[in-house]
Structure 1
Amino acid sequence: MPRIAIGGFLHETNTFAPSKATYEDFLHGGGSGRLLKGEEILTQMADVNSAISGAIRHGTEHGWELVPTLFAATSPSAHVTADAFERIGGDLVERIAAALPLDGVILDLHGAMVTEHLDDGEGELLARLRDLIGPDVPVVVCLDLHANVTAKMFDMADVLESYRTYPHVDMAETGLRGARALEAMLDGTRPEKAMRVAPYLSAIAWQCTFAEPARGLYALLEDLAGDTREMSFNMGFPAADFPECQMTVLAYGPDADSAADRMLAAVTDAEPAFAGKVWTPEDGVAEAMRLAALPETKGPVVIADTQDNPGAGADSNTTGMIRAMVAAGAKGAIGNLYDPATAKAAHEAGEGATLDIAIGGQSGIPGDSPFRASFTVEKLSDGNFTASGPYYRGKHMAMGPSACLRLGALRIVVVSAKAQMADRDMFRQVGIVPEDEPILIVKSSVHFRADFEPIAGALLTCAAPGPMAVDPALLPFTRLRPGLRIGATGPAFAPDTKETQDAGH
């Protein structure tokens, strides 16, 4: 019976975001699950859409002796504090070391963690792990599709296995692939491996695998992987200011080098296609109203408030789209607005009360500010529910005290914990029926599409002021790899010439 340690430590770091990830944030999980230790992992993560879930399923079905260690995750934000990294990462490594002897280790990491004191959180974690367990114990790491894979991560792990969908509906399947890769190494063999780095960054708004060019690239990846290789294409997280912020191709198995070269060539050729239409808030709302009024539009027009996406490090509290909807007199709903003080005030006032209050705008984003009005407290909730959509599937969501505030024809979901609006139950938990609204505004970039696209009459992307620039070239980078193109067909980064970025920022 193979003895396999499992664990996880996930964070996606936007180094330009307004708030950092503390130990308390990981302890409470940012709306999608608290820090788990030991057997709690097996009971609470066995049947959700996560890589560790797939690993648990494979291990259970194949007679592994699973040694659960620690699992921690929280919403994307600015840097992980040094305290949080050392406490959680140190605990994870110590638990694995205490479990020795082991036949293998499989970890669920994100791949884009930057801390206050480390550019490469995952690489450092894996290096410390290797120092303790030695070179002979196989280590497989499951990664997010948005991982900024570094040379240290590639060197320290035997296989890096990444999601192949965005929205990430295949997280559990990635865990299954990773566990199968580990199974193949239990006899002591190691696969050939190759890593390639793309010459440009791409914007997350145009990385959806439901559409081109990502759809075709991942189809090619599947063909190249076949039954004999493990392959990953990481589109990277383009809001991390360090030299290894990058898109990468990974290949493991026979002829890994040639497979990686073929995949990189396709990624390079696809560069001009990583682009799309972005609307201003005012023009986007006007277009949404026009589309919603057409008899052929079946279902709500869904607008992505992409620059305030908490799934990319924003605080989910900007008010640009609220202002545009109110100014246009548009009917619809927007969520989630992360504003614990307003949620508390709504609960104190009670359902049916009128609340004269300024909401949102706490992050101090240039061009954004709190929005004051007299709202009706339409519905209150404790924020606890189980998500049923494909992305959060099966996860218990703890959004804290929540409220639906109504202002004229607009309904606003106010919550006390940050989580990307990627599940229709996030509207339903405060009494909003998303299918009945003509316009839905979601603080998300792509993940919302897993649950909202099936009901959408149309999809639009708007850029209200927010910390996650829809175009990476608008970010004030100072430390990227020289020559890397910032955004598809964007300017090449040079450390001493930042005029393009500074002008845009």
Structure 2
Amino acid sequence: MPESRPVIAVAGLGIESSTFSPARTGAAAFHPRRGADVLTRYPFLAPGQPLRAAADWRGALVGKALPGGTVTSTAYAELAAELLNSLSDLGPVDGLWYDIHGAMTVEGLDDAEAQLLQRIREVVGPRVLVSTSMDLHGNVSRELVHQSDLITCYRTAPHEDAMDTKERAARNLVDLLTSGAPRPAKAWIPVPVLLAGEQTSTRIEPAKSVYAAVDEVAAADGVTDAAIWVGYAWADEPRNRAAVVVTGPSPDAVAAGAERLAGGFWKARHTFDFVAPTATLDECLDAALASTARPYFVSDTGDNPTAGGAGDVTWGLRQVLERPELKDPSGPTVIYASLPGPRAVDAAVAAGVGATVTVTAGAEVDDRHAGPLTLTGEVHAVRHGDRDAETEVVLRVGSVHVILTRLRKPYHHEHDFTGLELDPRAADVVIVKIGYLEPELFAMAADWKMALTPGGVDQELTRLGHRRIRRPLFPFDPEMPDPDLTARLIAPSNKPLTGPDE
């Protein structure tokens, strides 16, 4: 390959961290990849792909963790130090692709991603161009925009365009480096709205139309990319709010595009609603058991491990097992996913499939809503080797098939169930610790409700107890005046940033 190809490093740490969960996240949870192994995360950087050939890609360290609690200061220090050392060892680079989530909270640190990028720039130098890719549930501070030259995020929720977004961020960086164009203009607008992802799904209006406008703005002359971030509702930092960023060669075009998107988001604030009908868990179960729609899905939303919940809240499962119609094995077939309990899993594995065991699980991390749950049932299945759960067992308690895991795990795919000798399509009711249903589950569900249950990612945001978010903020201040939604043109990353973070 020609020596003129730009040299691009790839680095980043990604997690959604709920500050309302007592859980803590360690370094191992990020499953970090290093060196050349980093590139294997991205199909568009596989050997033979055009984008791979367009630059000399060099992996530093990329770690992505299942959403969870606040990252420990020790874990962050360890991972950040290794990432920075790896970048230093790579030698001079022309560009950096910064692949993050945007909602990482670290003990004792605000705006962790911006702080890490600032440290990265101290290693790679001010001339290096940075393209940042994010989840739309991340948070975008003025400092993060300043430290980035290009920045973008997903345009769908659920995130069916995650890999497309990453590829766009990488391609935009290659195009900028090979064109020789100056650093892009960047228009940033903080939007004082903070809503849960389940209230802003692009499956339904108004988010469907709000996000459709992103493509239109991104296609305008003088614009390279456009993005709207909903923000992350289950953490309590000043940066937690919605934001808009538009980048491109024309300051006028990016400013106009940003103001259009910010205005559209703000105007729609009162019409955002949950993506499915919501009710108490008992009301959801009443509806599910009375319905003829099968399978009927119920989301146990408050402890969703893919939004940052600890995953081990027993409150929901306790309510399910107390239902009299589910105590008999001949009752309606119910699947419950899931509850961590390492000792319970060990006991079930030791007893073997077909054995009856009494075990206790849950509430080892989050016991605020209910204590550990003791249950007696027949071991239906055992599976080893899962990346997240490590070991899974199914315990049949009455007519409820309870999935117990060594470590918490999300259940998003049909094979998550069929690999445990469960058939979700034939079940009467499937209860999953999740918010909006991921695509496979959504396609499978004949009907669906979201149960407003307690936990670290409670959908009732106003009862969580935010103390540090910037006020006024909708919906915490429903009658707040209209904000200033004029575009803030952010200084290039190689120039000083001045002025307030508004």
- TM tier, smaller: 0.7 to 0.9
Q: Which residue of 2 aligns with 1:441?
A: 431
> Is residue 85 from structure 1 mapped to residue 66 from structure 2 by the alignment?
no
| 1:171 shift after superposition | 1.3
Q: Looking at CA atoms only, which structure, 1 or 2, has the larger radius of gyration?
A: 2
2:494 is matched with none
The 1:354/1:491 distance shift into structure 2, 3 A limit, reads farther
- 1:183 matched to 2:171? The reply is no
Name which of 32, 35, 56 aligns with 2:32: 35
State yes or no: 1:468 paired with 2:445.
Answer: no
| 1:373, distance to aligned residue in structure 2 (A) | 2.5
Asked whether the equivalents of residues 18 and 77 of structure 1 are also in contact (C-alpha less than 8 Å), the reply is: no
- Structure 1 residues 82, 420: closer, same or farther in 2, change over 3 A? same
**Corresponding residue for residue 67 of structure 2:** 76
Aligned position for 1:263: 261
Paired residues of 2:340 and 2:361 also in contact (CA < 8 A): no
Residues in 2 aligned to 1:326 and 1:491: alpha-carbon distance in whole angstroms: 44
1:432 — aligned with what? 422
Alignment match of 1:13 (pick from 2, 17, 20): 17
> What is the rounded CA distance, in whole Å, between the counterparts of 1:15 and 1:367 in structure 2?
16
**Identical pairs, percent:** 26
Query: Conserved in 1, the CA contact under 8 Å of 2:105 and 2:112?
Result: yes
Unmatched 5+ stretches in structure 2:
327-332, 482-502
- 1:433-465 superposed Cα distances (whole Å, 9 cap, x missing partner): 11111111111112x331111111111000222
**RMSD value, Cα:** 2.1
TM-score by length of 1: 0.87
Secondary structure at the aligned position of 1:106 is classed as: strand
Decide whether the 8 Å contact of 1:3 with 1:103 is kept in 2.
yes
Matches of residues 52-451 of structure 1 in structure 2 within 5 Å?
60-186=51-177, 187-226=180-219, 228-253=223-248, 254=250, 255-276=253-274, 277-291=277-291, 293=292, 297=293, 299-328=294-323, 329-330=325-326, 331-384=333-386, 397-446=387-436, 448-451=437-440
**Structure 1 unpaired stretches of 5+:** 27-33, 48-52, 385-396, 493-505
CA contact (8 A) 1:383 1:429 kept: no
SS at match of 1:406: strand
C-alpha displacement at 1:63, in angstroms?
Answer: 2.9
Q: Is the 8 A contact 1:272 1:488 kept in 2?
A: no
- Taking the aligned partners of 2:112 and 2:417, their CA distance within structure 1 comes to 34
Aligned length in residues? 461
Give the letter aligned to residue 426 of structure 2: D
Asked if 2 retains the 8 angstrom alpha-carbon contact of 1:271 and 1:488, the reply is no
Structure 2 partner of 1:4: 8
- CA positional deviation for 1:58: 6.3
Give secondary structure in 2 for the equivalent of 1:25: helix
Query: CA 1:466–1:355 in structure 2 vs 1: closer, same or farther (change >3 Å)?
Result: same
3-state DSSP class of the match of 1:345?
helix
SS at match of 2:68: coil
* Structure 2 contact 392–406 (Cα < 8 Å) conserved: yes
Q: In 2, Cα distance between the equivalents of 1:341 and 1:361? A: 13
Check 1:286–1:338 CA distance in 2 against 1; reply closer, same or farther (3 A cut).
same
- Could you list the per-position Cα deviations for residues 370-399 of structure 1 after superposition, in whole angstroms to 9, with x for gaps in the alignment? 222211111111043xxxxxxxxxxxx442
Q: Which residue of 1 aligns with 2:42?
A: 46
Q: CA deviation at 1:148?
A: 0.9
SS at match of 1:377: strand
Measured after TM superposition, the shift of residue 8 of structure 1 is 2.5
- 8 A contact 1:335–1:413 mirrored in 2: yes
Preserved contact between residue 332 and residue 437 of structure 1 (Cα < 8 Å):
yes
Contact 2:312 2:408 in 1 (8 A): no
